[in-house]
Amino acid sequence: MKNIHVAAVALNQTPLDWSGNMRRVRAALAGARETGAELVLFPELCLTGYGCEDAFYAPATAERAWRMLVELLPETKGVAVAIGLPVLHERALFNVAALAVDGELRGLVAKQNLAGDGVHYEPRWFKPWPEGVVDGFRGPDGAEVSIGDLVFDVGGVRVGFEICEDAWVAERPGAGLAARGVDVILNPSASHFAFGKSGVRRRFVAEASRSFAAAYVYANLLGNEAGRVIYDGQLIVAERGGIVAESRRFGFAEWHVLDRVVDAAAGRIAAARNVNHRPELPAAADGGLVRVAFEWTRAVPVVADGVKECGAVCEVKEEAFTEAVALGLFDYLRKSGSRGFVVSLSGGADSAAVACLVRLMYEMARAELGGDFGGRLRCVDFKEVLLTAYQATANSGGVTRAAAAGLAAALGAEHHELDVSGIHEAYVEMIGGAFGTGLNWRDHDLALQNIQARVRAPGVWMLANLRQALLLTTSNRSEAAVGYATMDGDTAGGLAPIAGIDKAFLRQWLAWLETEGPLVGGERRAVPELRAINVQSPTAELRPGDAGQTDEDDLMPYDLLDFIERAAIRDQHGPADVLEQVAAGFPQYGAQRLRQWVERFFTLWSRNQWKRERYAPGFHVDDENLDPKTWCRWPILSGGFRDELNELNKK
């Protein structure tokens, strides 16, 4: 038995925040030491921040990170610490994990597999390190250390690394580490939140501990690091194919630690029993083996009954969405230095969801942080945190006005009712005169709708400016797919917190929030005042009231729209294939209407890419995002599926 006390650290870092990042690393390291841990794992690229983008190209970025690492070395006396940073070597940039032991830097392990899909662009900045290669590195301070595919023998315990994406590929470095007799595998990660992803992580961590016959320690970033991507701070320790320790996800603290005593020798017995184990003999492995004298002294006995089977994790999507977006809003608010949020509250589902998320952010942060809450934000009272405004034109109805006022009161927001009908009418009269004829709904429908949405933007922008607050836009992903939004109108704002979620789920979430809601401070937090909004059919309220305008009449049923979007954009099926799928899944609408809706979707999708390019930054919450900056690239100008749709109509 070789017991060692390990700790994984989740950190809420900010790109290029040198002093802040250093302060949080030091505090977390001190916290890990307090648990008695002797092997401490920090997340990937945590010194610089993961989301530095093209600032990684600047030589000063890697140089500053190196100075931070050197400055931290004295604080690793008596422990082994793995910490992530970028390193410039042989005119190439590498994503590395540095291992410091007892106050000295012992080596740099470079990432072999780079994440280049979706929100990740590592191949733009970094080079993959070749398997089995080790080189000498001279730091900016002249220090010399080995870099590459290293294994460390630390006081008789062999330690190896898989760095984030290394564990997500088919041919994982872990297999080679197992052949080299590694007892503990460390995985420093920057793995973004997406629905259902936590269960995938649990499975590959647990399975690695079984198949590679090693204890496995996983650390992840936490929070809205750089604006769009949210990290859930999931920490995991696994042995013998089971999870032995796991942290909570999300959280508003700057860091948290998960510690566990593991038996580093248990994997040796499992490997010896495995008839398929083929060890790498010392002559072949010595080039990448770094031997470090170290005494493991603090470990207490392993908890014998602590292994849990790694089954499927039942994630409640509504809960995960609430926690992720609440944390995203909190970090965006404090890191931007803004004094709260402003929302144009229409009395409809989208703006109601945004306002509720702000309130839940506030309540969840206060419940967790307690007295520390006021020190983290520039606004403390909720009326400072959220200001809402209902902006009426002649086409606005009493139902939405009352719903907006009732919700604002229930949430505790500062609420204003602004009558913009005079501004709207002045624009119509002015442009009608310039146009040379009176404007009417029969001939000028779209222009008359859009001007109402646009005249609302200057007022809420002004309120945001006066409050030094962030204006939140309320557009959702379903609207983005077909351009059902007025640019410089309802899309006005600096942050789009629900742009990554579809309308069908949003309405489902609002119904759940009305009657149940998330856990806040150990109790469910429902918002029953949402009933006045949930009973309505979604409407833009831009045509006269007697027109009976609804979103789904303008477009198509939202569940069908979301189905088509996934089939066409996520799965890349053409119009004919999509029509075949919707005919099978939605026969109640009839063949002719389904054909019209499929044609409408492909036409509007292609026509409105320019709108998606101009949307405010939004949060990435699932791996079906339409954000062209982080996930779904599409040409602004294209053939628009004209040939495919013509062929479809000939059938």
**Range from 91-105, 528-542, 559-573 carrying the lowest mean pLDDT:** 528-542
Q: How confident is the model at residue 274 (pLDDT cuts 50, 70, 90)?
A: low
Residue 522 CB neighbours (<10 A) = 6
Q: What is the pLDDT of residue 311?
A: 46
Tens digits of per-residue pLDDT, 138-159?
A: 999 999 999 999 999 999 999 9
Q: Is the pLDDT of residue 39 over 70?
A: yes
Q: What is the pLDDT of residue 341?
A: 98
Tens digits of per-residue pLDDT, 196-205?
A: 999 999 999 9
Q: Is the pLDDT of residue 426 over 80?
A: yes
Give me the mean pLDDT over the 167-193 stretch.
Answer: 96
Q: What is the pLDDT of residue 377?
A: 86
Dihedral in degrees, nearest 10, Cα atoms 606, 608, 613, 618: -110
| 452 against 153, higher pLDDT | 153
CB 575 within 8 A of CB 595: no
Q: Is the pLDDT of residue 120 over 70?
A: yes
Q: How confident is the model at residue 283 (pLDDT cuts 50, 70, 90)?
A: very low
Residue 469 has which token pair? 């607050």
Q: What is the pLDDT of residue 284?
A: 41
Handedness of CA 324, 327, 331, 333 (dihedral sign): positive
Q: Is the pLDDT of residue 539 over 90?
A: no
Q: Is the pLDDT of residue 402 over 60?
A: yes
Domain annotation for the chain: domains and CATH numbers: 3-292 (3.60.110.10), 317-650 (3.40.50.620)
List CB contacts of 218: < 8 A, sequence separation 6 or more: 8, 187, 189, 201, 205, 234, 235, 236, 237, 238
Give me the mean pLDDT over the 213-221 stretch.
Answer: 97
Q: Is the pLDDT of residue 271 over 80?
A: no
User: How does strand 289-292 pair with strand 151-154?
Assistant: parallel
Give me the mean pLDDT over the 452-461 stretch.
Answer: 94
CB 331 within 8 A of CB 339: no
Q: Is the pLDDT of residue 313 over 90?
A: no
CB 349 within 8 A of CB 479: no
Q: What is the pLDDT of residue 285?
A: 46
Report how far residue 78's alpha carbon sits from residue 75's, in angstroms, rounded to the nearest whole number: 9
Q: Is the pLDDT of residue 404 over 70?
A: yes
Q: Is the pLDDT of residue 551 over 70?
A: no
Tens digits of per-residue pLDDT, 348-365?
A: 999 999 999 999 999 999
Tens digits of per-residue pLDDT, 90-117?
A: 999 999 999 999 999 999 999 999 999 8
Q: Is the pLDDT of residue 647 over 80?
A: yes
Q: In what order do the strands lie in the sheet with 414-419?
A: 414-419, 386-392, 341-344, 470-472
Q: What is the pLDDT of residue 396?
A: 80
Q: Is the pLDDT of residue 306 over 80?
A: no
Share of the chain above pLDDT 90, in %: 80
Q: Which of 217, 156, 147 is nearest to 181 (CA)?
A: 156
* Cross-strand bridge partners of residue 218: 187, 236
Q: Is the pLDDT of residue 368 over 70?
A: yes
Q: Is the pLDDT of residue 320 over 70?
A: yes
| 519 against 278, higher pLDDT | 519
| Mean per-residue pLDDT over the chain, rounded | 92
Beta strands in 318-477 (DSSP E): 341-344, 386-392, 414-419, 470-472
Report how far residue 506's alpha carbon sits from residue 589's, in angstroms, rounded to the nearest whole number: 23
Tens digits of per-residue pLDDT, 246-262?
A: 999 999 999 999 999 99
Q: Is the pLDDT of residue 483 over 60?
A: yes
Q: Is 575 helix (H, G, I), strand (E, B) or coil?
A: helix
Q: How confident is the model at residue 298 (pLDDT cuts 50, 70, 90)?
A: low
Q: Which of 40, 110, 45 is nearest to 75 (CA)?
A: 40
Q: Is the pLDDT of residue 542 over 70?
A: no
CB 108 within 8 A of CB 137: yes
Report how far residue 631's alpha carbon sits from residue 419's, in angstroms, rounded to the nearest whole number: 39
Q: What is the pLDDT of residue 287?
A: 63
Report how far residue 280's alpha carbon sits from residue 179's, in angstroms, rounded to the nearest whole number: 5
